[in-house]
Amino acid sequence: MRSIEQTESKDSVAAREVLETIRAEMAGFSPGERKVARALLAGPPTIGLEPSARLASQAGVSGPTVIRFANRLGFARYGDFQDALRGELGARLLSPVARYAEQSGRSRPAEQGTSPSVGDTLSTVVADSLRDLPPDELRRAVSLLGDQRRTVTVFGGWFSSILGQYLAAMLQEMRSGVRYVGHTSRERTVAIMEARAKDVAVVFDYRRYDEVTVEFAHAQHDAGATLVLLTDRWLSPISDIADVVLPTAGETYSPFVTLTPAIAIVEVLAVGIINSGGDRVTSRFERFNAVADRLDPRWGVTTEEDEGTASPRVDPRPRRRS
């Protein structure tokens, strides 16, 4: 197997992000290098900014192993590795105001901010995100969410909860055992109390990462749930314990974190589930929409009422058996 420094330059690693590269290349590391990688991913993010001897002690390896680890990532010196990591951690922690101020200082085209320019940027971010999705991670996410033996719990952060509601709504059309957990303490307490091993917990977490969401993800993990994380390229702290990570790529010239590429990934997951789920998923999807049309004819494009015939009413009262 070729070493990482043979396949990636320092510049390409920096563009891809250090921690993302470490996670993606874990299988190619030597046993000692894997210990360093795990120390960086599971420990406090700043451990990589400590002297190499301190990181070596934390990982339980020798100092030269840490240096070789940095070299395998494409860095000539451990200091270069730290510089790249420092920049990544700084970007992770930027507030929306600070991020927009930083972007405003960059050279941008005069037409930036117009609809065509914003549209072009969003199109690029979506295309990059879908292109760079790890295929094995995507396949596993589709398999986990389509496994009807598993209960699926979906939750997210302040803004990303919108994505969670969207995913949960589509999953409920295709399978049972799906619930969306909102932000109330009661909802999250119940979800933690009822979490079981073999459950799947889908979490959305983007910069600035939501502390409550991180804690809730840890509680689900501790209960034995399999975690599927949708996050940005800086990787939520939840990535340290997640079983599947689906990151988005890039950003726009906006003070807001764009959710557009994440919506695209959610829809890719939904299509993957219905395409691979067989007759059982298709049958539920058809029955769900038939019931929805009866309850609310507005769901249908053409309803019986539109054609001059009243739609049958659904009596919510249980019928007495004869």
3-class DSSP state of 200: strand
Where does residue 315 rank: exposed (0-12), middle (13-18), buried (19+ CB within 10 A)?
A: exposed
Amino acid in position 52 = S
pTM, two decimals, is: 0.66
What CATH architecture is 4-93? Orthogonal Bundle (1.10)
pLDDT in single tens digits along all 322 residues of the chain: 333 433 344 444 443 478 778 877 887 899 899 889 888 876 666 788 889 998 999 889 999 999 999 999 999 999 999 888 887 766 655 555 555 555 555 545 444 555 567 788 888 888 988 888 888 899 999 999 999 999 999 999 888 899 999 999 999 999 999 999 998 999 999 999 999 999 999 999 987 788 899 999 999 999 999 999 999 877 788 887 899 989 887 665 556 678 899 999 999 999 999 999 999 999 999 999 999 888 876 655 554 444 444 444 444 444 444 4
Beta strand extents in 133-269 (DSSP E only): 152-156, 178-180, 200-204, 226-231, 244-247
pLDDT at residue 249, rounded to an integer: 75
pLDDT in tens, 23-82: 778 878 998 998 898 888 766 667 888 899 989 998 899 999 999 999 999 999 999 998
Query: C-alpha distances in angstroms, 309 versus 294, 297, 305, 312?
Result: 13, 12, 5, 9
Could you tell me the residue ranges of all domains in the chain? 4-93, 117-278
pLDDT at residue 172, rounded to an integer: 96
pLDDT at residue 301, rounded to an integer: 54
pLDDT at residue 19, rounded to an integer: 77
CATH domain 117-278 topology: Rossmann fold (3.40.50)
The rounded radius of gyration (Å) of the Cα atoms in the chain is 23
pLDDT at residue 6, rounded to an integer: 39
Query: C-alpha distances in angstroms, 30 versus 27, 82, 218?
Result: 8, 21, 28
